Structure 1
Amino acid sequence: MAFAGFPAEAFAFYEGLEADNSRTYWTAHKDVYDTCVRGPMGELAAELAPLVRAEPKVFRPHRDVRFSKDKSPYKTHQGAFFEVSSGVGYYLHVDAGGLFTAAGFYAHSREQTARFRAAVDAPATGVELEKIVRTLTRHGFEPGGDRVKTRPRGCPPDHPRLTLMRHEALTAGRRHAAGPELEGRTSFDLVRTDWRRLRPLVDWVETNVGPFDLT
């Protein structure tokens, strides 16, 4: 079945889940989750996969609470990740507020971070990444990803790209507010457009950072 959008009930479902993150609420509204959230997300993922040449991973709705102080049993969003290389790829999720799109490298190894910082430090590749991030920012994307609070060991305080050097991983994402635009086919176009704009970032990471292990 072709993706037709996320119905208004999907956003209302997550509003309710944020207010009552309990098994009682989940059980009473599971049919809404299956029909209005999980179903459309699966349809959207199937259509997006050929565009990025990556198989989607649609995440489970249950939280892993084993090592968390927050014992809320359910995630308050439904996400999907399209991995093009180890920890590198495209992401989206739907929640009470609307739709979030992003891309970059997420899970990272020490070797990946070292390669990333070496590429940021080098004038040619570092300036190229600066331009990519600047362009994305103009289009409403916000840089994200794990980063150190001060600066990496050995990095001078006056480094011209200190903000990027702080990153251990780098992503960029933007939000689209819930409303009629997301309730129809237009939401597919929004994701496709965002991911096209994010492709230079993904390409830069694939070229200059690479997967967990290059051997």
Structure 2
Amino acid sequence: MSFEGFPDEGLVFYEGLEADNSKTYWTSNKGAYEAHVRAPLQELLGEIAPEFGIPKVFRPYRDVRFSHDKTPYKTHQGAVIHPEGRAGAWYVQVSADGLRVSGGCWRLESDQVARYRRAVADDVQGPRLQAEVDRLAAADWAIEGDRLVRVPTGYSPDAPRLDLLKHKALHATRTWEPAEWLHSRTALEEVRTAWRDLTALNAWLDDNVGPTAKEPRRR
């Protein structure tokens, strides 16, 4: 089936989940989640995958093992496309707050952080990233990612692009509040256009950071 928008019933489902994040609510309304949240998101991803890659739709359940917040369900539905062997990824999320799209990297291993910082300090690659980050910020993208408070070890306090050097992850995010177009195919075009706008950022990360060489952690 083709994507025809995110039904308002999906947003209403999440409004209810925010008010009553319980197994009772979830069980009673799981049909609404499947039909009005998960299904349309999968339809959107199915149409956009040929350009960006194979998507992963996240589970709706929270990992509460190490959290003080024991509410069992996420109040949003997200999905990511992270091509194998690359550092950059694309993300989309729907919730009662509307639609969110992001691109970049959310978590870097120590070897990736080291390569990232070397590239930021480089006289050619560093200015390339700075120019792209400045362009995205000017286009109303929020530039985010975990970062140090202090100067990274081995770098000078007056190093060029110090703000970028402090980052341990780097991604750009745009959010839209609920609107009528969210319930139509316009939502697909907004996601597609936004992800295309992040192509240069992800390309820089792929070229200069790449995948980690560390072994996957055992679970």
TM over 0.5: yes
Quote how far apart the aligned CAs of 1:86 are: 4.9
User: Residue 99 of structure 2 aligns with which residue?
Assistant: 99
Residues 146-165 of structure 1: pairs in structure 2 closer than 5 A: 146-165=146-165
User: Residue 81 of structure 2 aligns with which residue?
Assistant: 82
1:61 aligns with 2:60: yes
Quote how far apart the aligned CAs of 1:149 are: 1.7
CA contact (8 A) 2:98 2:177 kept: yes
| Counterpart-to-counterpart distance in 1, 2:107 and 2:95 | 22
Pair 1:29–1:87, CA change in 2 (3 A)? farther
User: Residue 211 of structure 1 aligns with which residue?
Assistant: 211
Cα deviation code 1:165-187 (max 9, x no counterpart): 01111111110111101110000
| Counterpart-to-counterpart distance in 2, 1:18 and 1:123 | 48
| Counterpart-to-counterpart distance in 1, 2:48 and 2:213 | 27
Pair 1:15–1:87, CA change in 2 (3 A)? farther
CA contact (8 A) 1:116 1:208 kept: yes
Note the residue ranges of structure 2 that are not aligned, 5 or more in a row. Answer: 215-219
Q: Aligned pair count?
A: 214
User: Residue 132 of structure 1 aligns with which residue?
Assistant: 132
| Counterpart-to-counterpart distance in 1, 2:29 and 2:41 | 17
CA contact (8 A) 2:79 2:92 kept: yes
TM-score for both structures, normalised by structure 1: 0.96
User: Residue 70 of structure 1 aligns with which residue?
Assistant: 69
| Counterpart-to-counterpart distance in 2, 1:156 and 1:19 | 49
Q: Give the residue type in structure 1 aligned to 2:79.
A: A
Quote how far apart the aligned CAs of 1:107 are: 2.6
| Counterpart-to-counterpart distance in 1, 2:106 and 2:39 | 26
Residues 104-119 of structure 1: pairs in structure 2 closer than 5 A: 104-119=104-119
Quote how far apart the aligned CAs of 1:160 are: 2.2
| Counterpart-to-counterpart distance in 1, 2:193 and 2:157 | 37
- Partner SS state of residue 64, structure 1: coil
Q: Percent identity?
A: 46
CA contact (8 A) 2:116 2:209 kept: yes
1:169 aligns with 2:165: no
Pair 1:128–1:86, CA change in 2 (3 A)? closer
Quote how far apart the aligned CAs of 1:154 are: 2.0
User: Residue 27 of structure 2 aligns with which residue?
Assistant: 27
- Partner SS state of residue 117, structure 2: helix
Quote how far apart the aligned CAs of 1:205 are: 0.3
- Partner SS state of residue 192, structure 2: helix
User: Residue 217 of structure 2 aligns with which residue?
Assistant: none
**Cα-Cα RMSD:** 1.4
Please list every run of at least 4 consecutive aligned residues from structure 1 whose deviation after the TM superposition is greater than 3 angstroms: none
Deviates more, 1:85-94 or 1:130-139: 85-94
TM-score for both structures, normalised by structure 2: 0.94
- Partner SS state of residue 123, structure 1: coil
Q: Give the residue type in structure 2 aligned to 1:69.
A: H
1:5 aligns with 2:5: yes
